[in-house]
Chains A and B, each alone.
Chain A
């Protein structure tokens, strides 16, 4: 149990309580409430078990429990074919990552003989430089663990399941697919810092020769690319929850980028430079609050208008004042407008990425992607807000739209307090709270020192500027409508890009085809193998057994039966002869008696009289 576990435990407990409360209102008219709440509880148990594990085995087991609950809850409305197939998709896609994770755990056990984090850390220090520790394993293991994180946190190329997972109930999307479970991937990578930044426990120094620089770079590139890639897909989508889902992927990717930059920074500059690591976990905390808020507010909207399509919303501000205000706070945080929480942590991540660019110039490119993502984030976030709450109502039955009950707006209010404050906690509560976020040892100086030490305050200005630019563009297009949205799709290239984004770059259909053809091919191969090899073997064994049986049968019939029959036949024959002596006539019996008696008398006579008389002794 360390700071990281404590932070995650606090987050998960708080958020799951709020979201469970919210669910009481959201699920009020649904059937299957016991199933719903039981699965939520199992999920929370899985998440708490995952983050409180002190070894990789427990982590893996609870990780799988979370995956199961995710599957069950996405498919909560299993009567809907889309929900059922989304649940299957989520399960199968994350399974790819989980298998990699499993291989990683096996590799750890093979190399270190233990799965406990402390033993591994000591093991690296003890075995480093000896033949017992192959340096290639030091790169392979964190990459395998990262494979698990890619699946769970829906990073490219395994991101396809998360948008479909929005078929589940909205509180589930908020709890599992925004605030907690998808963070488990980030948590796992933070845990695998024992591999990324191997520290010698004896002197607290980084063993720099054992640092897997390639693995860190892979994590950073996947993170930076996914952040950009997912944000582009969020630009064109009309489903309010899917926009948030793409945004979640993108924000998670920021955290991976931050972790990679942090690992690089730690490994190259020494154990004091915890900036990137802290920034990523800081962003994890802030994102958990504001994304849960956004999802719950979106759920509140869906609860009121009974559709996910933003084209059928609009003008809801006057009907749903609490929801619209809280969602506005969440949007400001997500867009990275100071002083809301998203700004502090996102800026720290970008700042550290820029700082690391000095030693590995690839991080400059990742920083550029991050800035572009920040612009797109602000744009799609406010596109969402303006399309939903501003303008005129575009759906049907406006008179049915009403504000959600208190049990739903209450958690919204609580979360919006956290959304404003969680970024400021680092200023307001130096000490306990910040020590949860920041790495290992309590930092003596200002808790935000990594932020304040950022190389150039201009960077912060730049990210605020792009966020405001994105916000402004969204305002012009979707609220004032001085720039019509159709202008982007008027040209042939623009329309093509729009279609490409709506189709999510065709990756989903490509995966479906790949799965269909690949699985069908494997199945055909398995069928052939089954029919020819397995069946052949079984039939061969059958035939051999049959032949052996025939042989045994013949032996039985001729030799054994022959012996038995011969014995019985001879018995019968001898009895046929012997029974003729049994005449049944009294006189023949009497004759035998007389004959025997006479013989006896004769013998006695010979024995007692004749032989003594003849002198035979």
Chain B
């Protein structure tokens, strides 16, 4: 049995890695992938607490959240498609419409 702390630490690690990707990388696809990594951190938390307390409801929530993440990725990809059509690139540092 893996202790809960390790699982929580892994979850925090995942979140921070994802956050780093979102803030630093300029490619929109990579940013989306980083967001997916961040998304996995709370799902891992749900599963870990479910196992810890022996309550299967957490695992059900985890499944729902994974389905949501798939939808979210689809919406994100659609936005990037439009971004590509209007700017000819998916480089986020180039799409600076709100700039002064």
Q: For A591, what are the chain B residues with a Cβ–Cβ distance below 8 Å?
A: 23
Q: For A594, what are the chain B residues with a Cβ–Cβ distance below 8 Å?
A: 19, 23
B92 sits at the interface (CB 8 A): yes
Q: For B93, what are the chain A residues with a Cβ–Cβ distance below 8 Å?
A: 585, 587
Contact B26 A587 (CB under 8 A): yes
Query: Which residue of chain A has the shortest Cβ distance to B100 in the bound complex?
Result: A579
Q: For A583, what are the chain B residues with a Cβ–Cβ distance below 8 Å?
A: 96, 99-100
A564 sits at the interface (CB 8 A): no
Q: Is the interface of B mostly helix, strand, loop or mixed?
A: loop
Q: For A458, what are the chain B residues with a Cβ–Cβ distance below 8 Å?
A: none
Which residues, 573 to 590 on A, are CB-close (under 8 Å) to B? 579-580, 582-587, 590
Contact A584 B92 (CB under 8 A): no
Of A579, A582, A590, which contacts B22 at CB under 8 A? Answer: A590
CA of A49 to CA of B46 in the docked complex: distance in angstroms? 120
Query: Which residue of chain A has the shortest Cβ distance to B25 in the bound complex?
Result: A587
Of B19, B26, B98, B100, which contacts A580 at CB under 8 A? Answer: B100
Contact A586 B92 (CB under 8 A): yes
Which residues, 37 to 85 on B, are CB-close (under 8 Å) to A? none
State the interface size on chain B (CB cutoff 8 A).
14
Contact B98 A582 (CB under 8 A): yes
B1 sits at the interface (CB 8 A): no
CB distance from A589 to the nearest CB of B (A): 8
CA of A313 to CA of B13 in the docked complex: distance in angstroms? 147
Contact B23 A582 (CB under 8 A): no
CA of A591 to CA of B92 in the docked complex: distance in angstroms? 14
B97 sits at the interface (CB 8 A): yes
Which residues, 129 to 160 on A, are CB-close (under 8 Å) to B? none
Contact A582 B100 (CB under 8 A): yes
State the interface size on chain A (CB cutoff 8 A).
11
CA of A579 to CA of B93 in the docked complex: distance in angstroms? 18
CA of A587 to CA of B20 in the docked complex: distance in angstroms? 11
Contact B96 A585 (CB under 8 A): yes
Contact with A along B15-32 (1 / 0, CB 8 A): 000010011101000010
Query: Which residue of chain B has the shortest Cβ distance to A591 in the bound complex?
Result: B23
Contact B100 A587 (CB under 8 A): no
CA of A360 to CA of B97 in the docked complex: distance in angstroms? 123
Contact A582 B99 (CB under 8 A): yes
CB distance from B84 to the nearest CB of A (A): 15
Contact B22 A584 (CB under 8 A): no
Q: For B24, what are the chain A residues with a Cβ–Cβ distance below 8 Å?
A: 587
Contact B98 A584 (CB under 8 A): yes
Query: Which residue of chain B has the shortest Cβ distance to A595 in the bound complex?
Result: B23
CA of A590 to CA of B31 in the docked complex: distance in angstroms? 12
Query: A582, A587, A591, A594 — which one has the most chain B CB atoms within 10 A of its CB?
Result: A587
CA of A583 to CA of B93 in the docked complex: distance in angstroms? 10
CB distance from A64 to the nearest CB of B (A): 85
Contact with B along A586-602 (1 / 0, CB 8 A): 11001100100000000
Of B19, B26, B97, which contacts A584 at CB under 8 A? Answer: B97
CB distance from B48 to the nearest CB of A (A): 21
CA of A594 to CA of B92 in the docked complex: distance in angstroms? 18
Which residues, 552 to 587 on A, are CB-close (under 8 Å) to B? 579-580, 582-587
Query: Which residue of chain B has the shortest Cβ distance to A578 in the bound complex?
Result: B100
CA of A104 to CA of B22 in the docked complex: distance in angstroms? 111
Query: Which residue of chain B has the shortest Cβ distance to A586 in the bound complex?
Result: B92
Query: Which residue of chain A has the shortest Cβ distance to B22 in the bound complex?
Result: A590
Query: Which residue of chain B has the shortest Cβ distance to A580 in the bound complex?
Result: B100
Q: For A580, what are the chain B residues with a Cβ–Cβ distance below 8 Å?
A: 100
Contact B92 A585 (CB under 8 A): yes
Q: For A579, what are the chain B residues with a Cβ–Cβ distance below 8 Å?
A: 100
Of B92, B97, B98, which contacts A587 at CB under 8 A? Answer: B92
CA of A165 to CA of B17 in the docked complex: distance in angstroms? 125
Contact A584 B96 (CB under 8 A): yes
Query: B24, B93, B100 — which one has the most chain A CB atoms within 10 A of its CB?
Result: B100
CA of A584 to CA of B98 in the docked complex: distance in angstroms? 4
CB distance from A588 to the nearest CB of B (A): 9
Query: Which residue of chain A has the shortest Cβ distance to B99 in the bound complex?
Result: A584
CA of A587 to CA of B22 in the docked complex: distance in angstroms? 7
Q: For A586, what are the chain B residues with a Cβ–Cβ distance below 8 Å?
A: 92, 95
CB distance from A69 to the nearest CB of B (A): 89
CA of A580 to CA of B24 in the docked complex: distance in angstroms? 20
Q: For B31, what are the chain A residues with a Cβ–Cβ distance below 8 Å?
A: 587
Query: Which residue of chain A has the shortest Cβ distance to B93 in the bound complex?
Result: A585
Q: For B23, what are the chain A residues with a Cβ–Cβ distance below 8 Å?
A: 587, 590-591, 594
CB distance from A585 to the nearest CB of B (A): 6
CB distance from A581 to the nearest CB of B (A): 8
CA of A584 to CA of B93 in the docked complex: distance in angstroms? 9
Query: Which residue of chain A has the shortest Cβ distance to B28 in the bound complex?
Result: A586
CB distance from A368 to the nearest CB of B (A): 119
Contact with B along A364-405 (1 / 0, CB 8 A): 000000000000000000000000000000000000000000
CA of A584 to CA of B24 in the docked complex: distance in angstroms? 15
CA of A359 to CA of B51 in the docked complex: distance in angstroms? 157
Q: For B19, what are the chain A residues with a Cβ–Cβ distance below 8 Å?
A: 594
CA of A590 to CA of B25 in the docked complex: distance in angstroms? 12
CA of A365 to CA of B97 in the docked complex: distance in angstroms? 123
Q: For A587, what are the chain B residues with a Cβ–Cβ distance below 8 Å?
A: 22-24, 26, 31, 92-93
CA of A585 to CA of B22 in the docked complex: distance in angstroms? 12
Contact with B along A321-340 (1 / 0, CB 8 A): 00000000000000000000
CB distance from A20 to the nearest CB of B (A): 98
CA of A594 to CA of B24 in the docked complex: distance in angstroms? 12
Q: For A584, what are the chain B residues with a Cβ–Cβ distance below 8 Å?
A: 96-100
Q: For B22, what are the chain A residues with a Cβ–Cβ distance below 8 Å?
A: 587, 590
CA of A594 to CA of B21 in the docked complex: distance in angstroms? 13
Q: For A590, what are the chain B residues with a Cβ–Cβ distance below 8 Å?
A: 22-23
CA of A583 to CA of B94 in the docked complex: distance in angstroms? 11
Query: Which residue of chain B has the shortest Cβ distance to A589 in the bound complex?
Result: B98
CA of A594 to CA of B93 in the docked complex: distance in angstroms? 18
Q: A583-B96, A586-B92 are in contact. List 12 more A-B contacts (CB 8 A).
A: A580-B100, A582-B100, A583-B99, A583-B100, A584-B96, A584-B98, A584-B99, A584-B100, A587-B26, A587-B93, A590-B23, A594-B19
7 interchain residue pairs of minimum CB distance: A584-B99, A584-B96, A579-B100, A584-B98, A582-B100, A591-B23, A586-B92
> Which residues on B are within 8 Å of A, measured CB to CB?
19, 22-24, 26, 31, 92-93, 95-100
Pick 14 A–B contacts, CB within 8 A, sort by A.
Answer: A582-B99, A582-B100, A583-B96, A583-B100, A584-B96, A585-B96, A585-B99, A586-B92, A587-B22, A587-B92, A587-B93, A590-B23, A594-B19, A594-B23
